Amino acid sequence: MSEITLVEAINQALAYEMQADESVIILGEDVAKNGGVFRATVGLLDKFGADRVRDTPLAESMIGGVAIGMALQGLKPVAEFQFMGFIYPAVNQIINHAARMRHRTHGRLHCSVVFRTPYGCGIHAPEHHSESTEALFAHIPGLRVVIPSSPLRAYGLLLAAIRNPDPVIFLEPSRLYRWAKQAVPDDGQALPLDKCFTLRQGTDVTLVTWGAMLKETMAVADQLAVNGVSAEIIDVATVKPLDIVTILNSVEKTGRCVIVHEAARTGGIGADISAQIAEQGLLFLKAPVKRVTGYDTTVPYPRLEKYYLPSEKQILKAVQDVMEFA
């Protein structure tokens, strides 16, 4: 079995599900002829034809609305927005219609649609290309927000998202698209949504993260191990609904927690995780929960982007603080 990148795993999952289910339709800007801005849909037009892989105008609100209409007629659209910063014109459609449809119709209708978009830093472009606003969508009842952090999880979680009867915001870390390769069986096996993945067992500190920040967090865990500190790593994966049970179980074991995300600090998912630990697991803690995050600014570009992102040094400092807390 050959190893593939995260973006190739996305393509593999789309091809598998389109082959298995004729109701799956792909639409978005440049997804057909050009194969997507990051080549996530390359080759799918040739395999499945123009009726099922459709280029759209540069009109994100229209993409959102058409995808919702398709879903209400029994199709399973996978709509791509080229960057997360471009999704905002479709927010009206996503929040006021996709997210509310099941509630609005008392369960008579549901909206099985996946809104895919690259997100986060990594390409050193203007600010609309580097957004990390997962918390915006996580706040909305009726939306599920999923963020893969490896090729294997991208494949399994995307399959699960497409098969889910309700709308899913599927955020793909552009910084990880071609960062690493992994063996991914093309067996159609979905991974569970709404569950954290414990990627590394540890006893001294719990490191909670998701998306592209897994890269720095794993590197820090390796450095800590050299110094005799055992870090447990949790990849949240589905930030809404949040699997707080897995996080609490880990914090009960380690007594310390550092949360890492590249999104802005204020109102971030990390703040919610910290609050839930305080509410439900305060007596587990040997030290206050620490957050290592991006800044409450627009992402600067191009050369200052690296200063916006949380660094290994910052994560190490946060771990040192919780380990030394008296």
Residues catalogued as catalytic: 129
Helix (H, G, I), strand (E, B) or coil at 146: strand
What is the enclosing helix (H) or strand (E) of 244?
helix 244-254
Residue 90 near residue 60, CB atoms below 8 Å: yes
Cα 274 to Cα 24, 208, 270, distances in angstroms:
38, 10, 6
Burial (Cβ within 10 Å: 0-12, 13-18, ≥19) of residue 321: middle
- Separation between Cα atoms, residue 72 and residue 75, nearest integer Å: 7
| HEC sequence for 271-326 | HHHHHHHHHHHHHHCCCCCEEEEECCCCCCCCCCHHHHCCCHHHHHHHHHHHHHCC
Tokens of 104: 């609005």
- DSSP code per residue over 249-264: HHHHHHS-EEEEEEEE
Q: Which of 78, 84, 81 has the alpha carbon at shortest distance from 14?
A: 78
